[in-house]
Amino acid sequence: MQNTAVLSDEELNAWLRLTLEPGVGSVTAKNLLLRFGLPQAIFEAKYMALITVVGEQLARQLSAPCSSEILAKIEQTKEWLQKKDHYLLTLADKHYPQSLLDTHDPPVVLYVDGQLAAFQKPALAIVGSRNATLGGVQNAHAFAKYLAQQGWCIISGLALGIDAAAHEGALASGQEGATIAIMGTGINRLYPAEHKNLALRIREQGALVTEFPLDTRSQAFHFPMRNRIVAGLSKGVVVVEAAQKSGSLITAQLASEMGKDVFAIPGSIHSPLSRGCHRLIRQGAKLVETGQDILEELGYPIHHKAPEPDAKLSNKEIDPINQQLLDLMGFDPTELMALQQASSLALDEIAARLLQMELDGWIIRLRDGRYQQVHLANHLLD
């Protein structure tokens, strides 16, 4: 059984029961452990002793024999632990991340699928919008790849958009222990389902981690809980893109409350997905343009400099009229009609030129029908 601490069967049962009992969250569990020492002692305690820490109903529940439902879940978890690279880290485990222990409500246990060595690296979180722009995805990929090449582990939440791009960038570094994905579900319940292949690659080159028991499905309130682990594991949080009410701002706030650095990448003043980052910068987050900026701010050694942007965006030559359209487009998503109004060209000619520029790798057509320059692809995704 791949539980890293040397636990007896009774000790493992007690740790698991503590996390499976309804009404026992991480704060309540921590209070019980502070009072009784170890989970076994909690379940051996009398009702009158328990009631000094928890309410009457929970005291009765914890002093009663373990329910058959919880016993079945404990056995299911033990079977899961028999498989290769499956681990359960308890608060008493020497492999439990110290950075999480230092937070005020560390998870009682962590389910880990993958490489424990990933926890030994310094870590940075990269987070942002699920509905990311092309530029945001490219930035997340580039920052993650560069930082992973510098020996950092990239922490993110396996969500669509920025999270996925950060994991992909870290994996592209080729480094072991390059990325850790914090899940808001049970370790055997992947969300979103389309990230199955990504999750398989993460477990081979990093780790999947959750505090939630097996078979736990995705619920909205799980994600702020997940975000505290993302922030807690990291020395700092990089917000790539965020709308005003983005969940990634919660991660940034949690990191700030933990005394950790918050970094934000600025964007267009016209983009709703830049407003969260701009607000963070106004509130004191550090504006960064490269991964090197982050390492310099943290005072960590830089093994090689971040690549400079390449002015040449495509390996194809571009004619002057197409260059004019690129200049009119700038770096923001642009509608076809806006280009027609700003130029002297007919609409059908603009459409034909945009199609050719897309084929040549200069621009991309977004899902909403607008166009955007592929302004980072060559030097960020090599």
CATH number of 9-81: 1.10.150
Domain spanning 320-373, CATH architecture: Orthogonal Bundle (1.10)
CA 142 to chain centre: 15
Examine the pLDDT at 301 and tell me if it is beyond 50.
yes
Residue 308 clears pLDDT 80, i.e. is over it: no
Domain 320-373 in the same topology as domain 116-298: no
What is the reported pLDDT for 317?
73
pLDDT at 1 over 60: no
Q: Which residues contact 309 (CB under 8 A, 6 or more apart)?
A: 376, 379
The average pLDDT across 258-269 equals: 94
Q: State yes or no: cis peptide before 333, omega within 30 of 0.
A: no
At 123 the pLDDT is 98
Which stretch, 198-207, 298-307, 364-373, has highest mean pLDDT?
Answer: 198-207
Question: Does 20 have pLDDT greater than 60?
Answer: yes
pLDDT band at residue 225 using 50, 70 and 90 as cut-offs: very high
The amino acid at residue 23 is G
DSSP-assigned letter for residue 285: P
Domain residue spans in the chain? Answer: 9-81, 116-298, 320-373
What pTM, to 2 d.p., does this model score? 0.84
Nearest of 263, 273, 5 to residue 144 by alpha carbon = 263
User: 143-176: per-residue pLDDT in tens?
Assistant: 999 999 999 999 999 999 999 999 999 999 999 9
Place of tokens 């034909």: 352
Q: Which one has a higher pLDDT value, 191 or 1? A: 191
User: Per CATH, is 116-298 categorized as 3.40.50.450?
Assistant: yes
CB contact at 8 A, 186 and 91: no
Per residue in 107-131, pLDDT (tens digit) is 999 999 999 999 999 999 999 999 8
- In this predicted structure, the answer to whether residue 316 has a pLDDT above a threshold of 60 is yes
The predicted model gives 318-342 an average pLDDT of 88
What is d(CA 119, CA 106) in angstroms, rounded to the nearest whole number? 15
pLDDT of residue 5: 57
Helical residues (DSSP H) of the chain, grouped into ranges: 9-20, 26-36, 39-44, 47-50, 56-63, 68-81, 98-101, 134-149, 162-172, 196-205, 222-233, 248-257, 275-282, 291-298, 320-329, 336-342, 347-359, 377-380
Amino acid 375: pLDDT: 54
Does residue 313 register a pLDDT over 90?
A: no
377: confidence class by pLDDT, cuts 50, 70, 90: very low
The pLDDT of residue 362 is: 86
Whether the pLDDT of residue 192 is over 80: the answer is: yes
Asked if the model's pLDDT at residue 250 lies above 80, the reply is yes
Residue 374: the pLDDT is: 76
Give the Cα separation of 67 and 73 in Å (integer).
10
User: Please, what's the largest Cα pairwise distance for the chain?
Assistant: 85
- What is the pLDDT at residue 144? 98
Residue 311's pLDDT is: 41
Q: What local confidence, expressed as pLDDT, does residue 378 receive?
A: 35
How confident is the prediction for the chain on average, in pLDDT? 91
Q: How confident is the model at residue 310 (pLDDT cuts 50, 70, 90)?
A: very low
Q: Tell me the pLDDT tens digit for each residue of 78-115.
A: 999 999 999 999 999 999 999 999 998 899 999 999 99
* pLDDT above 80 (res 379): no
Cα separation, 53 vs 268, whole angstroms = 51
Rounded CA separation 254/323 (Å): 44
